[in-house]
Each structure stands twice: as C-alpha cells, then as structure tokens.
Amino acid sequence: MSEGIQTAIMGVTGYAGAELARLLLRHPRLGGRPPVFAGRLNEKAGEEDAAHGGILLREIHPQLADNNGAGDLRLEPFSWELLAERGVQVLFLATPHEQSRAWAPEALERGLRVIDLSGAWRLNEPSNRAVYGFPDEGSEQAAATQAQAVYGMPELHRDRIAGARLVANPGCFSTSVILALKPLAAAGLLDMSHGIVADAKSGVSGAGKAPTARTHFMYAADNLSAYGVFSHRHTGELLEQIGIGASEIVFTPHLLPIPRGILSTIYVHFKRAQTRAAIAQVYRDFYAASPMVRIHAKMLPQIQHVLHTNYADIGFELDASGMRAVIVSCLDNLLKGAAGQAVQNMNVALGWGEAEGLQ
C-alpha cells in the first residue's frame, strides 16, 4: 500500500496508547499524517474542551508535545462517522477486552484494518477464552470475527499477518515466553516429560493505568509479589502458540516494583545433551529474518538493555550435562509487549519494512 496511510487510535489515554501515539506520530511511512485520536470523553472533558472538539493531547500526555504541533492534536468524541470523514484505514484498539469485542466486528464491516492490543481475539480455543468470560462467546458474529483474526507475532506468523484484516496483538508476558520457547519446541528438543517452568516478572505498567490496590505505591514499592498462579489470562496464548498442553507448563507472573519491563526466566529439559553452540544456532536460524529479536549467546539479558526499545532479548545457560537449560527473555512490556509490536504488525500487514519506525 502507498505511504500516507491514515491511522486512528482508540484508547490513547492509557500507557500503551501513549507509546502507540508516540510511534505513529514519528513513523516515516505515514507521510506526516498524525493519527486520529478518538474515544469516549465522558468526565475527562470539561465544557471548554467539548466546545473545541475534544481534549488536547498535551493535557493527556505532556511528553508527546513537540515543536511540530503534536500537543495541539485532540482526543475527539468517538463516532464511526468521524473515522470515515478522516479517511481512516488502520484502526488501533488500545481498549479493554470488552470494548474491542464490540468495536472490532463493526470496524471490519466498515472496511477498516484493525490491530487490537487487547486480549479480545488472541485465542482460538474456547476453553482458553473462557478465562475472559466474554458474554458474546459462541455467537455467530464472534465466531466470524475470530475466524479473521491472526495472532500478531510477526516472528511466528509473518506470512499470515501480511494482508490480514484483523491482527490480535499478543500479551506482553506471552510474547516474552513464546519467543524464548518456540524455536526449541519447533526443533523438537524439549523433553516435555519434565515440563517447563516459566517464572516471569513485569513492571507495574503491565497492570494498566487504572489504579488498583495491588498497583498502589504502598503495595508495589519495595515489594515482589506473585499473582495469577494457574489462572493468568496469557496462559492460553502459551499453550496455543508453543503447541503444548496445560499440564506441561507452570507459568507464574510476578509484579516488580519498577515502571516497565519484563524478565522471564524459563527452565527446560532436553531430550538429549546439547551444546551452547547448537542451541545458539537453533535460535539464530529461527529468528534469521526477525529484526526485533536479539540472541545473546555469551550473556544473559537484563531489563535495562531493552527499555524503551522494541527488541526482545534472549539468552541462555546450559548445565554441565547439556540436558538442562535456563533461558532468560527480556522486553519492554509497553513496546515489544504492546505498542511497538502493534506497529510492527502494521508494517508487516501493509508490506513495509518490519522494523520501520521502531529502531
């Protein structure tokens, strides 16, 4: 498709929405056309804001104001007519799961390409979707929409994302774990009789912008806590994308007292003894065409190395027998785990360079 595509963001007020706005405002392929920011203003807008058509972007995210007028853009009241008037072609939904379930089907009917950052359309198996409790589960419309959805991990589904109408952006935890495990699983190296343990830790922004007791400063600061044990919503993504059963992995997320970043430590057994060189080659071969994955064969990744980037860093250590490995996978949960991956999916879907606007 030609340059100058018009994009729109629903949900710009959140953390991922802010990062998405920043990336799209500077994307070299968008011809200087800023996204349309639309949403439900409700109590966010006073009478003066409403009179001027919405809330100034700089009042929502002051860090996005620049000398080119980005701060003067507005979050406008959402309507399908607004998107049509502005010629929107690609719609990003940085919205809650329930809202994406409602808006994605209509957006598709109106001919829009949708990249959804929520968990609304990520899962193919009803048993895995059950954790969300979607009220429209089993309906004809939901089934038809799900059939169009492509899991938005370019490293795994690049060919299907190209030209897709609905891309379901992966979860942040699941991105870090899947990228670490998929090459080994695809090569048939994992001894699943021992199972897999994935111990993942995320900064507080991974819980979203709406405050909760668990994300309150007095709870999160100087603390480390596990949550969602055997029940986290990203577990189904691991099962479907790695191709394993629920009894073959224990995935435990933790809340770190830092703003952003994910570090997943994953413990695996091999069917036969491996060498460092052989495992490194498996990863390099699998990700040879993936510009956003960095393989570290001589060191273990750290969160500080991926912050504010769209890279996923993967490293590993083998035990003396070569039969066991500890894999460490790091990424920025707001970028490779959310907004950056969404832009990466847009690039692939539109036939652009996968890393454009992300390096």
Residue 61 CB neighbour total at 10 angstroms: 20
For position 1, what pLDDT does the model report? Answer: 44
Residues 200 and 85: their CA atoms lie apart, in Å, by 44
CATH architecture assigned to 7-169+338-349: 3-Layer(aba) Sandwich (3.40)
Listed as own residue / partner, the contacts of 65-71 with beta carbons closer than 8 Å and 24 or more positions apart are 66/25, 70/25, 70/34
Residue 233 CB neighbour total at 10 angstroms: 19
Tokens found for residue 102: 């409602």
DSSP 115-143: EE-SSTTS---HHHHGGG--TTTT-HHHH
> Which residues are CB-contacts of 102 (< 8 A; sequence separation ≥ 6)?
none
> Which residues are CB-contacts of 322 (< 8 A; sequence separation ≥ 6)?
270, 273, 274, 275
Answer positive or negative: Cα dihedral of 359, 264, 289, 235.
negative
Residue 251 in contact with residue 232, Cβ under 8 Å? yes
CATH 3.30.360.10-classified regions of the chain: 172-331
Indicate which residues carry an active-site annotation.
Answer: 172
- Whole-model pTM: value is 0.95
CATH 3.40.50.720-classified regions of the chain: 7-169+338-349
Residues 64 and 77: their CA atoms lie apart, in Å, by 20
CATH architecture assigned to 172-331: 2-Layer Sandwich (3.30)
pLDDT in tens, the chain (359 residues): 456 799 999 999 999 999 999 999 999 999 889 999 999 875 545 555 554 579 999 999 999 999 888 999 999 999 999 999 999 999 999 999 999 999 999 999 999 999 999 999 999 999 999 999 999 999 999 999 999 999 999 999 999 999 999 999 999 999 999 999 999 999 999 999 999 999 999 999 988 888 788 888 888 899 999 999 999 999 999 999 999 999 999 999 999 999 999 999 999 999 999 999 999 999 999 999 999 999 998 899 999 999 999 999 999 999 999 999 999 999 999 999 999 999 999 999 999 999 999 98
Amino acid at site 105? P
Residues 358 and 259: their CA atoms lie apart, in Å, by 21
For position 3, what pLDDT does the model report? Answer: 60
CB-hemisphere CA count at 13 Å for 319?
11
Q: Are strands 262-269 and 196-202 parallel, antiparallel or unpaired?
A: antiparallel
Q: Of 228, 295, 221, which is closest to residue 258 (Cα–Cα)?
A: 221
Backbone angles phi, psi at 273, to 5 degrees: -60, 140
